[in-house]
């Protein structure tokens, strides 16, 4: 029998909208998983870490950030077959930063729509500037590059999702080498401003790729990182680097769920983009899909003995909910099936 951990970023509704969303959500299987539990706890976000609660949880669980600060770069590089030859490496995401009247704001990288060839062209243009600054730049995929910057080891960075939708004045890298980052950022912004890739994107009414976002710093010697107890890592509808780390590229959640065999840690990010955009109708829709394709099959497998235990890890920006259930807990018929745990 298997033990399944489901990590569901943004599946915990934000408090101001939670009562209305819970009333509108029809998810009896999720309600059963959350109501008939052996253990449940809600944890506040760690304000000392510039990452979302599920990112902090995942980093600790994978052994990629003992202090809670996600240190995903080294393990992500290895998953792309790249050699981290000493030093400190960052994940780098090409992004669009919108310049509003009073602040800067990052566009959702999930919606950037950056093609492989265009990403390569921007990467090749930026690399000489990065190398002239004394760093190395490696290509993973269209959304994921890697930067070696040993002297930036103490840079306090934020994950892209933590900075998303926020005034970037408060989320830019901090520390002794922050000025060096800003200088390199400015040089590359000027370079990309007139790049043919961005001219073509703007002609297609797509946002320009006008900045890069470093985060997830890790030393080359950091552990490869595996889920606790040797569980298999799986990912669905997540950032490209996490899907690569998990070695999964399935577009069929129901198929992925039915194929689970052995202890598994599954990260499903389907709700994240809707929550980030405050599209609560879309959030209800995707949670309804997860009910049919994930929660109901998992509950059935728990009841018929195929799965031994299920742990749910649901989060929003400011908190994380952990709930653990098993077949015995599901027999607690006197516990009313409810989604009140989401409030």
Query: In 3D, which of 296, 316, 341, 339 has the Cα closest to residue 24?
Result: 339
Using CA atoms, how far apart are residues 190 and 245, in angstroms rounded to an integer?
A: 33
Tell me, what's the pLDDT at 91?
Answer: 97
Break the chain into its structural domains and give their ranges. Answer: 2-47+230-342, 73-219
We find that the CATH architecture of domain 73-219 is 2-Layer Sandwich (3.30)
Tell me, what's the pLDDT at 226?
Answer: 52
Instruction: Return the SS3 of 265.
Output: strand
Using CA atoms, how far apart are residues 107 and 91, in angstroms rounded to an integer?
A: 18
Q: State which H helix or E strand residue 156 sits in.
A: none
Using CA atoms, how far apart are residues 255 and 48, in angstroms rounded to an integer?
A: 39
Look at the block and give the residue holding tokens 């509003």.
100
Q: Give 207's DSSP letter.
A: P
Using CA atoms, how far apart are residues 98 and 125, in angstroms rounded to an integer?
A: 22
Tell me, what's the pLDDT at 51?
Answer: 97
Look at the block and give the residue holding tokens 């890592």.
233
Query: 38-60 pLDDT, tens per residue?
Result: 999 999 999 999 999 999 999 99
Tell me, what's the pLDDT at 252?
Answer: 87
Q: Strand 232-236 to strand 264-268: parallel, antiparallel, or no bridges (unpaired)? A: parallel
Instruction: Return the SS3 of 259.
Output: coil
pLDDT surpassing 90 at residue 293: yes
Residues 215/189, Cβ–Cβ less than 8 Å: no
* Mean pLDDT over each residue of the chain, to the nearest integer: 93
DSSP 228-246: GGGPEEEEES--HHHHHHH
Query: In 3D, which of 43, 272, 73, 268 has the Cα closest to residue 165?
Result: 272
Query: 147-195 pLDDT, tens per residue?
Result: 999 999 989 999 999 999 999 999 999 999 999 999 999 999 999 999 9
Which two three-digit tokens encode residue 116? 């492989």
Q: Percent of the chain scored above 70 by pLDDT?
A: 96
Residues 60/313, Cβ–Cβ less than 8 Å: no
Q: How many residues does the chain have?
A: 343
């Amino acid at each position: 029998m298997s033990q399944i951990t489901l990590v569901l970023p943004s599946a915990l509704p934000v408090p101001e909208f939670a009562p209305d969303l819970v009333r509108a959500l029809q998810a009896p299987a999720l309600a059963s998983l959350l109501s008939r539990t052996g253990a449940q706890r809600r944890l506040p976000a760690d304000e000392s870490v510039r990452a979302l609660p599920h990112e902090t949880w995942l980093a600790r669980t994978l052994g990629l950030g003992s202090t809670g600060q996600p240190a995903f770069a080294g393990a992500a590089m290895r998953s792309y077959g790249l050699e981290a030859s000493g030093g400190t490496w960052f994940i780098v995401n090409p992004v669009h930063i919108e310049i509003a009247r009073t602040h800067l704001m990052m566009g959702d990288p999930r919606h950037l729509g950056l093609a492989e060839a265009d990403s390569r062209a921007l990467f090749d243009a930026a690399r000489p500037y990065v190398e002239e600054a004394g760093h190395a730049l490696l290509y993973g995929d269209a959304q994921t590059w890697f930067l070696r910057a040993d002297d930036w080891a103490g840079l306090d960075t934020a994950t892209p999702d933590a900075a998303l939708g926020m005034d970037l004045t408060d989320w830019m890298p901090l520390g002794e080498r922050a000025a060096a980052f800003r200088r390199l950022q400015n040089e590359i912004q000027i370079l990309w401003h007139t790049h043919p890739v961005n001219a073509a994107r703007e002609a297609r009414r797509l946002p320009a790729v006008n900045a890069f976002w470093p985060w997830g710093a890790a030393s080359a010697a950091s552990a490869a990182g595996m889920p606790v107890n040797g569980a298999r890592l799986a990912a669905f509808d997540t950032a490209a680097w996490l899907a690569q780390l998990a070695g999964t590229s399935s577009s069929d959640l129901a198929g992925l769920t039915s194929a689970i065999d052995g202890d598994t840690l599954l990260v499903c990010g389907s709700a994240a983009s809707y929550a980030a955009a405050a599209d609560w109708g879309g959030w209800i829709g995707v949670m309804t899909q997860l009910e049919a394709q994930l929660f109901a099959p998992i509950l059935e497998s728990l009841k018929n003995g195929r799965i031994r235990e299920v742990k749910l890890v649901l989060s929003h920006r400011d908190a994380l909910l952990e709930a653990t259930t098993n077949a015995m807990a599901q027999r607690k018929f006197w516990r009313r099936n409810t989604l009140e745990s989401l409030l």
